[in-house]
Amino acid sequence: MLKAVLFDLDDTLYAYNPCHEEGINQLVSYLTLAWGLKKEDVLAKYESSRRIVHDQLKETAASHHRLLYMTKLCESFDKNPITYAKYLEEVYWKGYFSRMELNENVIPIFDDLVKRNVKIAIVTDLVAEIQYRKILYLGLEDYINVIVTSEEAGADKPNPAIFNLALNKLNLNSPDNVVFVGDSYSKDIFGANSVGIKAFWISNDTDPQKSNPMMIRVSDLKTLRGVIFDHV
Ligand SMILES: [Mg+2]
């Protein structure tokens, strides 16, 4: 019997791209006005800042931290990061949150799970502070029994530590009767499978290489709702 479902957050429960694009738009608008920069220069420096931080901090929560990207961005424009980076981070997140919309199938799925006494966990990369803000913004906090971020686990997915910490917090000593739901094959599906958790992959990618007996591919959350109780 299904005891718990572990969900990825970003790009699984809401669409990431419109949010990120608006965050970047707001950052560009602010910096073109406040610092008199060209849009192309802001975009190029943001991308190189992101890449530097990512490469330095591979597979950790901090590698995604926008405050560190803004720190590098300030440094590359010869501005004091202590004065500006936190504000720029907030400009980005304000734009990001303004476009955040919960997928319409999430509440019906969560209600089905609650009705059957199935616990709900969120297992997500990035720092706890911002991921908690996202969950509050989406209004999901009362559904969530357990939250694990890669900041708390010490490593991003697919590192087994983050999945094992989630099982631990759920007081489950076996991956049986648990499923994972996520959009990334290399992080969510590979990671969950590597600790023995079956996974639903939300994807339209039909690559036959990405197929295994521990994974069920579903095109969207609506489809997942119809099949989630059939496979465990
Ligand atoms: Mg994701």
Q: What is the mean pLDDT of each run of 10 residues along the chain (232 residues)?
A: 96 98 98 98 98 97 97 98 98 98 98 97 98 98 98 98 98 95 97 98 93 94 94 68
Q: Which two tokens stand for residue 129?
A: 């502070």
Q: Please tell me the predicted confidence (pLDDT) of residue 232.
A: 65
Domain assignments of the chain as residue spans, ordered by start: 4-14+103-227, 16-98
8 Cα: distance to centroid of ligand 1 (angstroms): 6
For residue 67, give both structure tokens.
Answer: 């405050």
How far is the centre of ligand 1, averaged over its atoms, from the C-alpha of 24 (Å)?
19
b/e 63-101 (16+ beta carbons within 10 angstroms → b) = bbbbbbbbbbbbeeeebebeebbeebbebbbebbbebbe
Q: Which helix (H) or strand (E) holds 191?
A: helix 190-194
| Coil vs helix vs strand at 25 | helix
Helix (H, G, I), strand (E, B) or coil at 181: strand
The set of residues, in sequence order, having a beta carbon less than 8 Å from that of 115 and lying 6+ positions away, is none
Q: Which of 79, 58, 105 is nearest to 218 (CA)?
A: 105
Q: Does the annotation mark 10 as catalytic?
A: yes
* CATH number, span 4-14+103-227: 3.40.50.1000
Residue of 10, 125, 156, 188 marked catalytic: 10
pLDDT of residue 144: 98
Q: Give the Å distance between the CA of 186 and the centre of ligand 1.
A: 10
| pLDDT, position 71 | 98
Quick one: pLDDT at residue 230? Answer: 86
